Every structure is written in C-alpha cells, then in structure tokens.
Amino acid sequence: MTTADWGTVDRLTRRYDYHDPEFTPEVAEVVNGRLRDGPGVAYTGAHDGMWIVTRYALVRAVLRDHETFSSAQGVFYPRAKGMPKHSPIDYDPPEHRTLRRLMTPPLQPDEVRGLEPAVERLAAELIAPLAGRGAGEIVTQVAKPMAIGVLAMAIGLSEKAQHRVRELTAEMWQQFSKAPDASTFWHAFEDLLRAEVAHARADTSGSYLSRLVRMEIDGRPIPEQTLHSIIVSYCIAGHETTMNTVSRMVWYLGRHPELQRKLRDDPELRAVAADETLRRWCPTDRFTRVTTRDVTLDGVSIPRGSRVVVLIDAANRDREKFPRPDEFRLDRGNSHQHLSFGFGIHACMGANLARLELRSVLGELARHPGYHLTREPGRHFENGRHIVFDQVHVGFAAA
C-alpha cells in the first residue's frame, strides 16, 4: 500500500464508511482487521451514525437475536427511497416465517442432492473447453454461467431472465445507495419480474416457480409484489455470491499450484477448500440491523433504534475462533463454522446448493492440468459489500 492508502486506512478506521469512494477491497481488508483487533463494538458517525460489531462471538450473537436486532428496516443501508424489500431477509417474524416456508422447497437437501449430476455436468461443459484451449477467462466463461445456470435448474428461471439478471443486478447495486429514489433503476428489474411471473403462470413443467405462483398464503393467492420480492431475492442472492466465490477461489488457487495438487490427490479436501474460501474472503462483507430496545453488547450501551453493522469479514478472521486467520489452510478443522452464510433465522437457505457448485468446480478443475493466473485481476465493491472480480484470466499447463 502507498502512503496515501495508509492515510485512507487510518481515516476509515476512525470513521468507518463502506460507501466512501476510497473504500476499496484492499483498503477494506486492512480496515476490517484493525476494527476486529480493537474494541468489539465501535461507533462511526457515517450515515447518521452506526455501531460496528466485529468479533466472531459478538457477530454471531447479533445474528441469533432477531428480536433485539431487527431486519425489518432493511439489511442493506443506506437504500434508495421506495426500494422494495427482499424476501425473506428484510423481514422479521411472523412474515419472515411465512416467506421462508414458501422459498425453501427447491433448496431442501434432497432437492440439492438430486441436482448434483446436472451441476457436475454444467461444470464440465464450462471448464473442459478452457482447459482444452489452454487458457480462458473464469468470471464470464465459468463463474457467471455456472451460478446463473444452477439457479435456473433449481427454480425454473426463464432463458430471458438468465440473460438479464446479472446486468440488472449490477445496475441496481450501482444506484441502490446513491439514487434519491428507486424509480431511477428499479423499473427495469420490475419489468423482468413481471415477465417472469407471467412465464411461470404459463409453465406446466412443475418447476419451483411454476408451483410458487399457484401457492397461497392464508387461503389467498400470493400478492404480485410478494412474488416479485421472492423472485428477485433468488435472482440476486442465487447468483452473485456464488459467482464471486468461484472467481475468488480460482484466483487464489491459480497462484498456489501446491494446493491444486492436494485437491487433485484428495477429493475430500475440496469441501474444505470451498468453506475456507468462504471464510477467508466473505462474499458478502457486511449486513445491518436496527435495535428494537436499548441493549448492552460487550459492555457498550447501544440505544434503541440504532443501526448496527455486523462485519462478517472481520468475524471470519477472528483469531480466537480461527487461529492464524489470514492464512488459507486446508488443515483447518473448523472452516465450515464461518459466518458467510449468516446465522440464526436469516441463515442462507441456499448454502447446500452453493457448496455443491463450489465442489463441482473444484472437482472438474482437478480433472485437468494445473492452471495459473496470466495476469492480476481488478476488483471492486458493488454497493460497498460484494467484492466483484472484473476478470480472472488463467492458463492451463499442457496435458
């Protein structure tokens, strides 16, 4: 880092602001580490004042206590006026229970196991041509089509939506916290959701979405806006975090041929590598909550109505939970206890599906010669929380 970068680190450690233009992925990692190694609960004056929670046990406690730390005012903050809620992450019980019950069927363990052969075939279809040519670009040729393709398998996403969802997601995050109101960017996504509902109503294949649009809540058809809220959550969460994690995983392994050899020789380690990637580089850096009462956390009094930021990246590198936390280690016995999938009632419903995708990518890569980075990729934040790789170019060794 340059002298200017260290000055930015000092400034953002004192006044934490994940929407600051200088809050880059490189700066964020250092700032998050400094906050984690300081008091467990800190305060920032940014965005009308927020409390920052950094250590593993404290973050886990906040995520578990949904009655005190509410999601109902939106977990993404700040947000453009008029931005609809995403289901079920922006809801508290009892609405949360109803929405989660509607959304879990395609993500049940048996359903995910049933998809395994198709997911592995997709990984082979995407990766084998790159290995055959001796080179390729991972983000656009593997990570994005893998994540969106598996989402389509799981819920029955239309071909049109598959082509549009990544572009619309990137446009939404670009404006989400900056636009004065959501009308400047949300209409395009809403048009897609409206078309997706119409497509599902005409679909007789028995896909999840074709069943969802025929379900009821308390004996009444699900309102259109609720269907939109459910589908957009699938579209965004169902592709973005997995796409970014696949990109990150290949980026790191491309720099470490010795790890590739271990994963080729011992298939059991692939699940560990997937979870260690999720732990070391959380794909969703932070969420927020709002306190419903005065609460004391780690000796710090937080008033009712306060915005609380849980730094999952920092918690996943808490040395009290994960010794030598900045190292990527395949011999770490508790990598799966990371908080990248959340915790409590809002824990990620798609965790099993995401792990299957990551294992399938690693399994297919292990069938081919070793690979290496041919250039260092650029990285940027989307909405101050998702680290996105611009491109990850790799070359494959000769067979």
The pLDDT tens digits of the residues spanning 346-373 come to 999 999 999 999 999 999 999 999 999 9
Interval 270-278 mean pLDDT: 98
Interval 70-85 mean pLDDT: 95
Tens digits of per-residue pLDDT, 155-186? 999 999 999 999 999 999 999 998 989 988 89
Least confident window among 167-181, 188-202, 219-233, 243-257? 167-181
For helices 269-280 and 257-265, what crossing angle results, to 10°? 140
Confidence band, pLDDT 50/70/90 cuts, at residue 385? confident
Reply yes or no on whether the pLDDT at 122 is more than 90. yes
In this prediction, residue 353 carries a pLDDT of 98
CA neighbor of 350 nearest in space, from 203, 223, 193, 243: 243
- Extract the runs of DSSP E, i.e. beta strands, from the chain: 41-44, 50-53, 69-70, 135-137, 216-217, 220-221, 286-291, 295-297, 300-302, 307-311, 371-373, 379-382, 386-389, 393-396
CA neighbor of 70 nearest in space, from 344, 364, 353: 344
CA neighbor of 52 nearest in space, from 39, 65, 67: 39
In this prediction, residue 184 carries a pLDDT of 87
Task: Note the pTM of the prediction, 2 decimals.
Answer: 0.95
Reply yes or no on whether the pLDDT at 4 is more than 70. no
CA neighbor of 327 nearest in space, from 245, 244, 252, 246: 252
First to last CA, the chain: 38
In this prediction, residue 399 carries a pLDDT of 58
Reply yes or no on whether the pLDDT at 213 is more than 70. yes
- CA angle 189–145–188, rounded 5-degree value: 10
Q: What are 135's strand-pairing partners?
A: 395
397 DSSP 8-state letter:
-
Instruction: Compute the distance between CA of residue 43 and CA of residue 138 in angstroms, rounded to an integer.
Output: 39
In this prediction, residue 398 carries a pLDDT of 78
Cβ(9)–Cβ(27) below 8 Å: yes
Cβ(144)–Cβ(110) below 8 Å: no
Q: Who's near 192: CB < 8 A, 6+ residues apart?
A: 160, 161, 164, 165, 168
Furthest C-alpha separation in the chain: 63
In this prediction, residue 397 carries a pLDDT of 92
In this prediction, residue 101 carries a pLDDT of 97
Length of the chain equals 399
Q: Which CATH number does the domain housing residue 106 bear?
A: 1.10.630.10
DSSP 352-388: HHHHHHHHHHHHHHTTS--EEESSPPPEEEETTTEEE
For residue 314, count CB atoms less than 10 angstroms from its CB and return exposed for 0-12, middle for 13-18, buried for 19 or more. buried
* Residue corresponding to tokens 């572009």: 167
* Full domain range(s) for residue 21: 3-396
- CA angle 233–390–157, rounded 5-degree value: 30
Confidence band, pLDDT 50/70/90 cuts, at residue 2? confident
For residue 137, count CB atoms less than 10 angstroms from its CB and return exposed for 0-12, middle for 13-18, buried for 19 or more. middle
Reply yes or no on whether the pLDDT at 1 is more than 90. no
**Number of domain units in the chain:** 1
Tens digits of per-residue pLDDT, 7-57? 999 999 999 999 999 999 999 999 999 999 999 999 999 999 999 999 999
Pairing between β-strand 220-221 and β-strand 216-217 as defined by DSSP bridges: antiparallel
